[in-house]
Amino acid sequence: MAWFRKEKKPLESPTAEKRAQTEGLWIKCESCKRILWKKDLEQNLLCCPKCNFHFKMTSEARLAMLFDDGKYTEHDAGMSSPDPLKFVDRKSYRDRLTAAQIVTGAKDAVRVGEGKIDGKSLIACAMEFRFIGGSMGAVVGEKITRAIDRCIEKELPLVVVSCSGGARMMEGIISLMQLSKISAALARFDEVRKPYISVMTNPTTGGTTASFAMLGDLNIAEPGALIGFAGPRVIEQTIRQKLPEGFQTAEFLLQHGMLDAIVPRVDLKTYLSKTLDFMGAWNASKPRK
């Protein structure tokens, strides 16, 4: 009879359940290859507690780390690219934008926040590498330019945290125009006599390096960050020479006078606060003679 029949159920592997419970809880360090407990890594601001390797940080987490209590007002959050060239390679640029927006929760590759650091106001921009490699298109250029204009209007200091592969090829010359656009805005900002600090993280390359990332009143970097215009492999193939050890790392650039300081992530907020205070960021502006 049917009610005597024993139903057979597939055996469940005990390792399968264990794997499901620990999925995503461990991360391998890209530098020392050690397995790290994810919560310990997050508490250490995504820096390896063993070798101090700095993992990439989302733009949202970066701003929360810098501002008091993680609170800030985001500006121009709704801006997105109109795909001006209708660019298509293996897939359309529009599809790439949509996919990046879903993954990151952002409309483009930079977030702009206004908040306080140790009780004092400033505006900070943080680039999002997960958004098409943190590439700079028209929206990134416009948002950073608007951030500079707000600093001019409110007489506030500016901090830009770069993490970018450079100009966005899907927007062609429109992307390249952002280099001069942001540089011109920084020239106007210089007249306000408020400091601009550029923070370079891994990687900061291409058109980003060739424009605003290297134009700070103070240029600083995280340890081990790759900073340059063309990549090392491209340079070696062009000049047909072997590059020096550590070429284009933050440490190499500091040694050769192209950076002002290397600041570990855990010390960044304190460093910025003290430096901006020393530079008179929150003092009344003095008119140019």
The pLDDT tens digits for 266-288 are 999 999 999 999 999 998 765 55
pLDDT for residue 11 is more than 70: no
Q: Where are the domains of the chain?
A: 57-278
Beta bridge partners of 72: 115
| Spatial CB neighbours of 85, under 8 Å, sequence gap ≥ 6 | 93, 170, 171, 172, 174
Q: What is the pTM of this model?
A: 0.89
pLDDT for residue 23 is more than 70: no
Q: Which amino acid is at 265?
A: R
CATH architecture of 57-278: Alpha-Beta Complex (3.90)
CA 82 to each of CA 41, 108, 151, 174: distance values in angstroms, whole numbers, following the listed order: 38, 11, 27, 12
Task: Provide long-range contacts, Cβ within 8 A and 24+ apart, for 58-64.
Answer: 58/104, 58/128, 58/130, 59/104, 59/106, 59/110, 59/111, 59/126, 59/127, 59/128, 59/161, 60/105, 60/106, 60/111, 60/126, 62/126, 62/161, 63/111, 63/113, 63/115, 63/124, 63/126
Strands 218-221 and 196-204: parallel
Backbone phi and psi for residue 288, each to the nearest 5 degrees, phi listed first: -65, 145
Quote the CA–CA distance of 225 and 241 in Å, as a whole number. Answer: 23
For residue 111, the model assigns a pLDDT of: 98
Quote the CA–CA distance of 97 and 128 in Å, as a whole number. Answer: 13
The proportion of the chain whose per-residue pLDDT surpasses 90, expressed as a percent, equals 87
Binned at pLDDT 50, 70 and 90, residue 57 comes out as very high
Mean pLDDT in residue range 204-231 = 96
